[in-house]
Amino acid sequence: MRPKALNGLRLNSFAAVVMILLEFSLGVGVNVFSTLPQADHGRAVFTAFGSAVTGGPLVLTVHALLGTVLLVTGVSALARASLIRQPALILITVIALLGIVAAWLSGARFVGTMANGASMTMAIATAVSTLCYAFILFIVPKPTTQE
């Protein structure tokens, strides 16, 4: 396997874990300390996302934008795993990306509905993605100093 490609996936996965932990912390802050505007209730997913970015409390705006950056990070990890051509790594990054997508969609749904189920889905999807990226850090060999 190519050491540079493996190292790139490790770094991508580490960045994802850090961002997910920040994202989770921001999400808890939104849930505990912020009041979402009543005008957002009943909005569709993408309309609710737009409202969160443009009209929500600052912590919600940062949370929504970081979630979107996480989508890009997940796609990047999948592309890196695909270039390595290891089916297990590809599968793990697909699951991680699906977790990020599920959390993103559930977050937008939460803004529009304030449903506890959407909040729980965000939390579970976050845990799945974190586990996947942490697993990548565990299974991908570290580069040696001779490479």
* pLDDT tens digits in sequence order for the chain, 147 residues long: 688 889 999 999 999 999 999 999 999 998 888 777 666 677 777 787 887 888 778 888 899 999 999 999 999 999 999 999 999 999 999 999 999 999 999 988 888 788 889 999 999 999 999 999 999 999 988 766 554
Beta carbons of 64 and 107 less than 8 angstroms apart = yes
Which backbone phi and psi does 58 adopt, to 5 degrees? -55, -40
Which backbone phi and psi does 85 adopt, to 5 degrees? 65, 40
CB atoms under 10 Å from CB of 124, counted, come to: 14
Model pLDDT, residue 147: 47
pTM: 0.88
3-state SS record for the chain: CCHHHHHHHHHHHHHHHHHHHHHHHHHHHHHHHCCCCHHHCCCCHHHHHHHHHHHCCHHHHHHHHHHHHHHHHHHHHHHHHHHHCCHHHHHHHHHHHHHHHHHHHHHHHHHHHCCHHHHHHHHHHHHHHHHHHHHHHHHCCCCCCCC
